[in-house]
Structure 1
Amino acid sequence: MLDLLAPLNGEPQILPSRKLAGRVAGVYVAPADHFETVATEALTLDFQGIKGDFHAGYTRRSGGREPWYPRGTEMRNERQLSIVSPDELATVALRMGLAEIRPEWIGANLLLAGVPQLSMLPSGTMLFFKGGVTLKVDAQNGPCRIAGRLVAERADMPDVEAGSLMFPKAAKRLRGLVAWVEKPGTIANGEEVSVRVPEQWIYGA
């Protein structure tokens, strides 16, 4: 029988969609004037993101991640929330010779446990929280020296500048994800999450 889903010559391999399960292991909010977050019991979200959070807003200003725009260009805010994994944070800490890296130090809003290789979830992945919130993953969050400096300071590294340079290398592809609010509501600590990974393919033409 002809396999209609089999890749043709030169076509990319297509991976089917799948479902995973996770759990909220921590929720954090950033004051309006700084990216470092503090632990809280729940997050209240609207279509702009977390109410009162440093990264909330329908739009944001472009920075070093968008070299195709002049710095400061107003653009859609697809970075409303930062999501990290306890396993990946532990790996980064080990690489840097630290006892720990806390989610707050790198401005994380959600600590999501139980999802293997969290940072590798593709764009378009949907996060359905049991309390009703839906988030959509935009992309992997690239590590930067600004977060690295705060890690070095909070971990009392003897050479803060060296620590700030070490973090982007140690955290490459382990820095977690950025996402935006598709369906608002409240996310509580300990809440169950259904992760729906979309069909994936690599465009190689």
Structure 2
Amino acid sequence: MADDGKQEREHGFPDGLVRTAGRRIKGTVERVLVTATPADFSTHDVDRLPLTFEGIAGGRHAGFTRRSGGREPWYPRGTEMVNERQISLLSVEELEVVAGRMDLPRVDVAWIGGNILVSGIPHFSLVPPRTRLVFGDGAVLRVDGDNVPCRIAGKGIAAQYPDRAGLDLLFPQKARNRRGLVAFVEKPGIIRPGETVTAHIPEHWLYPKD
């Protein structure tokens, strides 16, 4: 068996560098959803989700580019930039965790603007950037990273529970690292509920402090 530590030292890598080998994990598409109009935030179920290189035609986050906002403080707000946030994906298991943390019966993917709900991929929000999500009918999404929870999504939940005050602010606190992923279309296609999704997770490294 190869000595990974020796190989890393021979290549000039520092001692203690943490490497995670690439692997594949299969899950299932449970639901696919779209917005009724580009101005909407909440989504509704459809029986098929056609994807182009611009994302979801007519969707809130469609386009090759987008305008920067509060998530990109390094740019003046409104700067045109590449759109790496075309698609929002969440998992059944993590939404159950979020609902439990918020002491709610459930949190529905549609309330917080999700486009694809999957099951069976552990720690879905922690899937690393560069991961390819390959769907059964051939569509491929490339993961940009985890989706940081915000108050806008919290308001979508609060609207469903009008008797509970403060849910809009509670959601960003309780959904951290459980809000799912954002991705862009690498290969267009159609995604349908019930098909397989395979996460092709690349080899990745924990970047050293020194």
- Residue identity in the other structure for 2:3: D
The alpha-carbon deviation at position 2 of structure 1 amounts to: 6.2
Aligned to 1:27: 32
Pairing 1:155–2:200 present: no
The one of 127, 132, 135 equivalent to 2:133 is: 127
Give distance in 1, aligned partners of 2:140 and 2:2.
38
Judge conservation of contact 1:24–1:110 (CA < 8 Å) in 2.
yes
> Which residue pairs with 1:18 in the alignment?
23
2:187 is matched with 183
Q: What is residue 107 of structure 2 aligned with on the other side?
A: 101
- Deviation, structure 1 residue 11: 4.8
Structure 2 equivalent of residue 139 of structure 1: 145
The yes-or-no answer on 1:52 pairing with 2:68 is no
Change (3 A) 1:114 1:4: closer
Question: Does the residue aligned with 1:50 lie in a helix, a strand or coil?
Answer: coil
Unaligned runs of 5+ in 2: none
Separation in structure 2 between the aligned mates of residue 151 and residue 4 of structure 1, nearest angstrom: 47
On the 8 A contact 1:124/1:197 being kept in 2, the answer is yes
CA distance in structure 2 between the aligned counterparts of 1:139 and 1:69, rounded to whole angstroms? 19
Match of 2:89 in 1: 83
- Determine the C-alpha separation between the residues in 2 that align with 1:157 and 1:91: 21
Q: How many residues align?
A: 203
Q: Which of 98, 108, 117 is residue 111 of structure 1 equivalent to?
A: 117
Taking the aligned partners of 1:157 and 1:48, their CA distance within structure 2 comes to 39
Moved more, 79-88 or 149-158: 149-158
Q: What is the TM-score of this pair, normalised by structure 2?
A: 0.93
Deviation at 1:5, TM superposition (A): 5.3
Q: Give 1:126's aligned amino acid.
A: R
Contact 1:101-1:151 within 8 A present in 2 as well: yes
CA 1:55–1:5: 2 relative to 1, 3 Å: same
Aligned partner of 1:3: which letter?
A: D
Equivalent residue, structure 2, for 1:3: 3
Tell me the TM-score normalized by structure 1: 0.95
Deviation at 1:157, TM superposition (A): 3.8
1:4 shift after superposition: 4.8
Unpaired runs of at least 5, structure 1: none
Partners of 2:196 and 2:128 lie apart in 1 by 20
Quote how far apart the aligned CAs of 1:189 are. 1.0
Cα separation, 2, equivalents of 1:4 and 1:18: 17
1:32 maps to amino acid: P
User: Following TM superposition, where does structure 1 have runs of at least 4 consecutive aligned residues deviating by more than 4 angstroms?
Assistant: 4-7
Determine the C-alpha separation between the residues in 1 that align with 2:33 and 2:162: 22
